[in-house]
Structure 1
Amino acid sequence: MPVTEGTVPFHGHRTWYRTVGTGRSGLLPLLVVGGGPGCPHDYLSDLSALYEETSRQVVFYDQIGCGRSDHPDDPSLWVMPTFVDEVAAVRAALGLDRCHLLGHSWGSQIALEYVLTRPTGLVGLVLAGPIADAPAYQAETRRLKDSLPEDVRETLDRHEAAGTTDSDAYQAAAMAFYQRWMCRLDPWPAHVVRSFTSIRPDVYETLWGRTEWNLTGNLRDWDVTARLGEIDLPVLVTTGRHDVATPALVRPLVDGIRGAEWVVFEWSAHLPTVEEPERYRAVLAEFLAAAERPAVAHAA
């Protein structure tokens, strides 16, 4: 499998990338925007097999501030425009003039903001476990947290009130949430563990907050629901049946984007790319191929 790694200059720093495949198959590349914030791309690496299965090039990168990219100590960078600009910088540096874009979780927020800048050359958009409304997401994650067993809820609440969320007891209780609505595999695969144990806390907290259900960061009021009607390209939305991105969150997004297709993966939580990887890639490959057909096919 041909793999190329390198860095592109960005805001005086370096963003690391990894391309799988040569891009000479005639199929358009897929640029993958990972979740987090502050989480390296490794957990999405199952998508690499898309090249072996279809000869489509797949491009990953670690967002600035995490993984193999530079880790600047500059809180002013941890705002949405930084990450929207980074997508444009990666595309330009790698010559991705025409491509598809896949954003997962926090990466879906970046992808939505980027698409709303009306960039040229995007052919298809995939929103995986997406978020279009941060306050609504907080309400849903609080509802999910409140459905946990009483002793787990009590542990979470007690340590959050005391500011001791680094304790082993709190981390164990938080895993009860993540094992229900993030990834239901037991144990978690190594590449998922690698990503989630490498999240950069200051980036996550500055942008999002200390927990999934208590948004205090720069994105706490973020909401693009009213602008979804501006999106004018083929869109695939994917979620798991047990996803932290619940139907209450996803239905308004799907309804807001004209012609959006929504596929639910029955045996997955937030990571169907990991929990049902073969089926996920099959659904993805079919959508990307359809999005590349002449525009008349989409109007039919």
Structure 2
Amino acid sequence: MASGSPYPTLQPTKQGTIPFLIPGAGKECFTFYKIFGHLTATNKTPCVLVHGGPGLAHDYMLSYLPLFEKFGIPLVLYDQMGNGLSTHLPEKKGDEDFWTEELFHLELSNLMSALGLDESGYDLVGHSWGGMMGSTFAAKNPKGLRKLVLSNAPATMQSWIDAYNLYRSQLPQELQDALKRCEDSGTEQGDEYQGIMMNEFYKRHMMSLTPWPEEFLKAFEWAGKDDTVTSTMMGLSEFKVAGSTANWSAAEAVDKITVPTLVINGKDEGASDESIRPFVEGIKGAKWVKFEKSAHMPVYEERERYFDVLNDFLEGK
């Protein structure tokens, strides 16, 4: 892992690519994955880590390595299609019929089948978008899924946007005015707008640590190199719904989730208490843990407690 990371460097036990046939892709596609530990030669259920975005990469999920090094849980990390070291399809930018949640469900199913986890069993931890997509995946009762963790994931896209607009209204007025001025002039990607977002907004509502861990920044760099997935699925504004996930909601599917589920959120983040309510109230027996000293990234902000909570849930304590 990169220097400055909260956890030491560890090489994967195995890494590679899995073919993924996508009708309409126009080319052969592959999903990149990493495995830490052994998936079968253990009495521990492997844990599959699903990164956020849409449009980021697995790099920041390396922050979950304590599950393996401290607790002995085998881990599977992967880059979702169009991201990181998996196949990129920039020619599909803007194609909302191609970039759908279902594509990522199919990719995850394909990966589980290729690794044999649909037969031997696995737990799934989804962070942010990974939890959103993971919730509706779990509602399909996929073969092999044992437990589900929805970490910092809203149950609807609109509730995330509503939370972010509320937090924006709480910024000092001069910062609100500057954001509006940049939006009106179409300079959201400029230094002033991005500076306010990075130095003021995200420090309050994404992650309070300074500087951000290098592997977290690297995950975002992938989206900067190729914004096909991000721009097509949710647009480039934090404050407006757009793209193929504009009307996304898991609220109607939560009662179909039958596996034990842990719901996690932080304070003053996009996955607000209101936005996770459908998960907490709609999934039978769901357990909710809130991290009051964290925003969107308790995996970094309250690291020791976060992993104790995860391990206790995954190990059935």
2:292 aligned with 1:269: no
2:136 aligned with 1:136: no
* Post-superposition offset of 1:241: 2.4
The corresponding residue for 2:38 is 22
- Write the distance in 1 (CA, Å) between the matches of 2:136 and 2:279: 14
The corresponding residue for 2:265 is 239
8 Å CA contact retained: 1:44, 1:273: no
- Write the distance in 2 (CA, Å) between the matches of 1:266 and 1:143: 18
The corresponding residue for 1:298 is none
* Post-superposition offset of 1:132: 1.3
* Post-superposition offset of 1:94: 1.2
- Write the distance in 2 (CA, Å) between the matches of 1:267 and 1:196: 23
The gaps in structure 2 that reach 5 residues or longer are 1-9, 23-27
- Write the distance in 2 (CA, Å) between the matches of 1:258 and 1:290: 17
8 Å CA contact retained: 1:238, 1:263: yes
The corresponding residue for 1:149 is 172
**CA offset digits 1:59-91 (Å, max 9, x no partner):** 100111111111112244311111111110111
* Post-superposition offset of 1:9: 0.8
1:9 aligned residue (19, 28, 38): 19
- Write the distance in 2 (CA, Å) between the matches of 1:160 and 1:102: 35
* Post-superposition offset of 1:230: 1.3
Runs of 4+ in 1 over 6 A off after TM superposition: none
* Post-superposition offset of 1:244: 2.2
8 Å CA contact retained: 1:46, 1:277: no
Which runs of structure 2 are paired with 1:1-300 in the superposition (5 Å)?
3-10=13-20, 11=22, 12-23=28-39, 24-73=41-90, 74-75=92-93, 76=95, 77-97=98-118, 98-175=121-198, 176-199=200-223, 200-290=226-316
* Post-superposition offset of 1:55: 1.2
8 Å CA contact retained: 1:21, 1:56: yes
* Post-superposition offset of 1:124: 0.1
8 Å CA contact retained: 1:44, 1:274: no
* Post-superposition offset of 1:246: 0.9
The corresponding residue for 2:6 is none
Letter in 2 for 1:161: D
The gaps in structure 1 that reach 5 residues or longer are 292-300
- Write the distance in 1 (CA, Å) between the matches of 2:125 and 2:307: 12
* Post-superposition offset of 1:240: 1.4
- What is the aligned length? 291
Task: Answer with 212-221 or 154-163: which moved more.
Answer: 154-163
Please give the root-mean-square deviation of Cα atoms over the aligned residues, in Å.
Answer: 1.5
* Post-superposition offset of 1:15: 0.9
- Write the distance in 1 (CA, Å) between the matches of 2:58 and 2:178: 30
8 Å CA contact retained: 2:167, 2:268: no
When the two structures are superposed, what TM-score results if normalisation uses the length of structure 1?
Answer: 0.93
8 Å CA contact retained: 2:125, 2:150: yes
SS at match of 1:43: helix
- Write the distance in 2 (CA, Å) between the matches of 1:119 and 1:202: 28
Letter in 1 for 2:247: D
8 Å CA contact retained: 2:154, 2:270: no
When the two structures are superposed, what TM-score results if normalisation uses the length of structure 2?
Answer: 0.88
- Write the distance in 2 (CA, Å) between the matches of 1:126 and 1:31: 10
The corresponding residue for 2:3 is none
- Write the distance in 1 (CA, Å) between the matches of 2:258 and 2:115: 24
Counting aligned pairs with the same residue, the percent is 36
* Post-superposition offset of 1:45: 1.0
